[in-house]
Amino acid sequence: MHGLGTIINVIAIVVGAGIGVAVGHRLPERTRDTVTSGLGLVTLMVAALSVKDITSSTLTDEVGSAAPILIILGGILLGGIIGSLLKIEERLEHLGAWAQRRMSRNNDVGSRKRFVEGFVDASLLFAIGPLAILGSISDGLGHGIDQLVLKSSLDLVASIAFAAALGWGVALSALTVGVVQGAFTLVGFFVGQVIPEPYILIISVTGGLILIGVALRLLRIKAVPVADLLPALVCAPIIMAVVAAFMHR
């Protein structure tokens, strides 16, 4: 069944968030902050493991050894321009704030901020990592859901920790995951067979770089507008196609 991996993932996030909310109020604020920082460090590690694939022979054989970095740079810059003009980050925050007003009677500024932060950060963390992209495409191709099952296990644990610190906004991120991973599953189902491996890999590397921005947010180093960079996931493979066409002339 195509999409089963994403369904399992969505359920895992909601269940984890419920557990986190149930135990979170019993933890002191310092402990919740420490847990969030720990998630930031793990996110940074996952991102680094993905970004290192930029030196993969799969990419260098397609466009040369120097081009992948320039392609990623171009994708991030162009994607950031498009995303900022579309105000993706701002719209995502507004969606979180709207949902908080609908779902909670507690409308004080602090509660709303935590809800929105939990929704936005968890959405970005769970929806743009390499497992989310590659696992969903693999599911669409009919190659199994092993990667998404692994991701679901990781997201279950992460959503418990996240929700313990930030509350029910984390559960709402399951909606984002369903939409994004569902879209990548459809891509895999309809055109996955004709997408060359280097293009899937460049999307994964770009996602890993964006994930570093999520880690910086969790570590309270810099509030990178990560959502505004999401169009880079489309821009990078397009730029790569142009570069590859030019080099193979």
Q: List the chain pLDDT tens, one digit each, 249 residues.
A: 788 999 999 999 999 999 999 987 777 878 877 877 888 888 888 888 888 888 888 888 888 888 899 999 999 999 999 999 999 999 988 888 888 777 766 666 667 788 888 898 899 889 887 788 888 988 888 888 888 998 998 899 889 888 988 888 899 999 999 999 999 999 888 877 778 888 888 988 998 899 899 889 888 898 889 889 999 999 999 999 999 888 766
The confidence score (pLDDT) of residue 108 equals 66
The confidence score (pLDDT) of residue 249 equals 67
Q: How many CA atoms lie within 13 A of 214 on its CB side?
A: 32
The confidence score (pLDDT) of residue 104 equals 65
- Which DSSP state fits 21? H
- Which DSSP state fits 248? T
CB-based contacts of 90, cutoff 8 Å, min separation 6: none
Coil vs helix vs strand at 168: coil
Q: What's the CA gap between 28 and 172, in Å, rounded?
A: 24
The total domain count for the chain is: 1
Q: What's the CA gap between 138 and 145, in Å, rounded?
A: 7
Q: What's the CA gap between 181 and 187, in Å, rounded?
A: 10
The confidence score (pLDDT) of residue 116 equals 87
- Which DSSP state fits 27? S
CB atoms within 10 A of CB 114: 18
- Which DSSP state fits 129? S
Q: How far is CA 173 from CA 8, 16, 220, in A?
A: 14, 12, 20
Say which amino acid occupies 36.
T
Structure tokens given for 44 = 């940074």
Which structural domain, as residue segments, surrounds residue 62? 4-247
Task: Give buried/exposed letters for 5-21 (b at 16+ CB in 10 A, else e).
Answer: bbbbbbebbbbbbebbb
Structure tokens given for 191 = 């055109």
Closest to 201 (Cα-Cα) out of 133, 124, 125, 126: 133
Q: What's the CA gap between 177 and 188, in Å, rounded?
A: 16
The confidence score (pLDDT) of residue 110 equals 67
Closest to 64 (Cα-Cα) out of 197, 198, 192: 198
Residue 167 sits at φ, ψ, to 5 deg, of 90, -155
Closest to 46 (Cα-Cα) out of 202, 185, 212: 212
Q: Locate all alpha helices (DSSP H) within 64-223, ordered by sequence.
A: 67-86, 88-103, 109-127, 130-141, 146-166, 169-191, 197-218
